[in-house]
Structure formats: structure tokens, C-alpha cells
């Protein structure tokens, strides 16, 4: 009994500094945000501490903001769908290949994640710019006679986000596919299923949990992105994060910015909760 008590006291002491940082730098600021979100905005002095739900109604009831919400969700769905389409073959290949390069390839999926978003956004500018790679190739091939305007568009943002978020799709998919015992697929083949049937009737259904968790994570990260849309979307793309950023740093309407932030917290918490519930054990914590 006393052993147990000393073990839990040790756990407490060892985790206390981390918990303190999380409490001070994450939980307390989020609670402050919650409080600010129900205070009334007064220009020049920020708030007069009157309670109101007006900040929420303003965001959820105004045509302009509803359009922003719709564009954000639409973009998130497009990014998620594309990530799934591009990520599935990669995860399947990595799960089934017998190549000795497999660990290197898995590592290569992660490498871009360690390079700053800003650097990769610039990479997309070089790829999609007026004098960029894509336009040069298309001109050289004679497909077009004048360079296309590819940057500052929804498409540029979607491409950039897919590139940035793809690893978050591949990881749970890879874990789900590796969790399928080879004997299951062998049994299906032994019973006369064609490779196509094995894939469609056995492998694909068994990998659904991985598809769900990867999609939830990618969607959650896509709809809360700010930096990449700001650099690649220009004035064409207005996302929810940009509304919160502008409210906080441009118009100093902290209550409204807080309300938008709290809505994002609620939505992303629900998505991440779903992710943690569905993610395959091997990818847990990844």
C-alpha cells in the first residue's frame, strides 16, 4: 500500500513541472479566452466587462462570416479527400513492400515535417509562380502560350496544405495496414479471391479505422491553418483563423477574436477526440 502511495507521489513530482507549464501556458490562456469571449467589445477600451453572447452570434449569424466558414470547411474537405487519395497508395506500398529501403522511405515521409512551413510555402511559390516551374514546363511543352496565374488562389492553398498534411494521413493508414495479419489476406486468396477482391473486400474495409483517424487529423489541421493560406492564397482565400488573427491584432476586438477562437477550440477538440478514439494503437501519440 505504502509502495503504491510513494509511486503515485513520485509520479506527481515528476510530472508537476510539465503540468505547471501546460496549466500556465495553455489551460489558463484558453480559460481567459473563454471569459473574454462573453464580454462585450467597447472600442478604445476593449471591453466594459458586460456579459453577452453577441460575439458568438456575430460570427455565426453574419453572411460574410458564414461564407468564410463555408470556404474553410470546403477547403478542409478538399484537402482531406486529396490527402486520402494520395496517402493511401503510399501507405499501402510502405506497408507491403519488402524493399530494404522501407525504413528510409518511411523516414522520408517525415522529413518535410521538420522544415518550416514558411520555407515550404516559398517552395510552392517557386513551383507555381508566374515564372515558376509549372509555367516554364507548360510553356516549353507548348500547352500554353502565356504563363498562368496559379498563385493567390484556392488551388494553391489546397496543394500546399495537402503537401504539408499528407504525413498525418500516411502515419495512421500505415499503422492500420500493418495491423492486418498477412494470414487474413492469404486466407482470402486461398479461398479463390482475386487480388482485386482481396483488396476491396478484405484490406480496404480493415483499414477504415486508419482512414477515419487520418481524415479527422488532416481535416482538423486544415481548417485551423493560417500561415500557408496567408502566403499562398492572397486575398482570394479567407479562412476562420484569419478572422481571429485580424480581430486580435488588427482591430483589437479581443472579445470577438476570443469567441472565434473558442469555436475553433470546440470543433478541433471534437475532431481530435474522434482521432484519439479511432487511431490504431501503433500510431497512438504520433
Partner 1 sequence: MSGGTGNRRSPAWIGLSVLTGLVFAFLLAPIAVVLIEAFNDSELMNFPPQGLSLRWFQAFFANAEFMSSLWLSLKLGLIAAAISTALGAMAGLALARSGSSSASLQTLLLAPLYVPRVLVGLALLLAFAWLNVSGSLLGMILGHVLITMPYATRTVVVGMRAVEPSVEEAARMLGATRWQTFRLVTVPIIRGALMSGFIFALIISFSDIYLALFISGPQSITLPLRLFTFMEWDQSPLVAAASAVQIVLILSVILVAGRLFGLSSPGSVE
> Which residues, 59 to 88, sit near partner 1 by CB under 8 A?
86-87
We find the least distance from the C-beta atom of residue 134 to partner 1, in angstroms, to be 9
Decide if residue 219 touches partner 1 (CB under 8 A). Answer: no
**String marking each residue 221-260 x if it binds partner 1 according to CB under 8 A:** x--xxxx---x---------x--xx--xx----x--xx--
Using the 8-state DSSP alphabet, how is residue 235 labeled? G
The H-or-E segment that residue 39 falls in is: strand 39-42
Rounded distance between C-alpha atoms, residue 178 and residue 262, angstroms: 37
Q: How far is CA 20 from the centre of its chain?
A: 27
Which of 69, 261, 279, 280 is close enough to bind partner 1 by CB under 8 A? 261
We find the least distance from the C-beta atom of residue 194 to partner 1, in angstroms, to be 9
Decide if residue 220 touches partner 1 (CB under 8 A). Answer: yes
Beta bridge partners of 39: 51
Neighbouring CB atoms inside 10 A of 1's CB total 5
Q: Which stretch binds partner 1 (CB under 8 A): 51-59, 60-68, 73-81, 193-201?
A: 193-201
- CB-nearer residue toward partner 1: 61 or 234: 234
Which of 19, 42, 187, 208 is close enough to bind partner 1 by CB under 8 A? 19
- CB-nearer residue toward partner 1: 63 or 256: 256
Contacts of partner 1 in 137-166 (CB under 8 A): 163, 166
Rounded distance between C-alpha atoms, residue 238 and residue 84, angstroms: 24
- CB-nearer residue toward partner 1: 63 or 151: 151
Decide if residue 93 touches partner 1 (CB under 8 A). Answer: yes
Task: Report whether 264 contacts 241 (CB < 8 A).
Answer: yes
Task: Report whether 162 contacts 78 (CB < 8 A).
Answer: no
Task: Report whether 252 contacts 232 (CB < 8 A).
Answer: no
Which of 42, 66, 70, 118 is close enough to bind partner 1 by CB under 8 A? 118
Decide if residue 272 touches partner 1 (CB under 8 A). Answer: yes
Decide if residue 30 touches partner 1 (CB under 8 A). Answer: yes
Rounded distance between C-alpha atoms, residue 107 and residue 130, angstroms: 33
Give which of 260, 144, 274 is closest to 211, Cα–Cα: 274
SS3 171: helix
Decide if residue 33 touches partner 1 (CB under 8 A). Answer: yes
Q: Which stretch binds partner 1 (CB under 8 A): 52-60, 61-69, 72-80, 125-133?
A: 125-133
Q: How far is CA 63 from the centre of its chain?
A: 26
Amino acid at each position: 500500500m505504502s509502495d503504491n502511495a510513494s509511486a503515485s507521489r513520485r509520479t506527481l513530482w515528476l510530472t508537476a513541472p510539465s503540468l505547471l507549464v501546460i496549466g500556465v501556458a495553455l489551460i489558463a490562456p484558453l480559460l481567459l479566452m473563454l471569459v473574454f469571449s462573453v464580454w462585450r467589445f467597447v472600442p478604445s477600451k476593449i471591453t466594459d466587462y458586460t456579459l453577452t453572447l453577441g460575439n458568438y452570434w456575430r460570427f455565426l449569424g453574419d453572411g460574410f462570416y458564414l461564407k468564410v466558414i463555408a470556404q474553410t470547411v470546403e477547403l478542409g474537405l478538399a484537402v482531406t479527400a486529396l490527402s486520402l487519395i494520395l496517402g493511401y497508395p503510399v501507405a499501402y506500398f510502405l506497408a507491403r513492400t519488402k524493399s530494404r529501403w522501407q525504413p528510409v522511405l518511411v523516414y522520408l515521409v517525415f522529413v518535410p515535417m521538420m522544415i518550416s512551413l514558411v520555407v515550404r510555402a516559398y517552395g510552392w511559390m517557386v513551383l507555381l509562380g508566374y515564372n515558376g516551374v509549372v509555367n516554364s514546363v507548360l510553356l516549353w511543352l507548348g500547352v500554353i502560350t502565356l504563363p498562368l496565374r496559379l498563385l493567390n488562389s484556392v488551388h494553391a492553398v489546397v496543394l500546399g496544405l495537402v503537401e504539408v498534411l499528407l504525413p498525418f494521413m500516411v502515419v495512421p493508414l500505415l499503422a492500420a495496414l500493418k495491423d492486418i495479419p498477412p494470414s487474413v489476406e492469404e486466407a482470402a486468396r486461398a479461398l479463390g479471391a482475386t487480388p482485386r477482391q482481396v483488396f476491396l473486400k478484405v484490406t480496404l474495409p480493415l483499414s477504415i479505422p486508419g482512414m477515419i483517424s487520418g481524415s479527422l487529423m488532416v481535416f482538423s489541421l486544415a481548417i485551423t491553418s493560417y500561415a500557408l493560406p496567408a502566403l499562398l492564397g492572397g486575398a482570394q482565400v479567407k479562412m476562420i483563423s484569419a478572422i481571429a488573427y485580424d480581430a486580435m491584432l488588427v482591430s483589437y476586438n479581443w472579445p470577438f477574436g476570443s469567441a472565434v477562437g473558442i469555436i475553433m477550440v470546440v470543433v478541433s477538440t471534437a475532431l481530435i477526440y474522434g482521432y484519439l478514439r479511432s487511431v490504431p494503437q501503433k500510431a497512438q501519440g504520433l
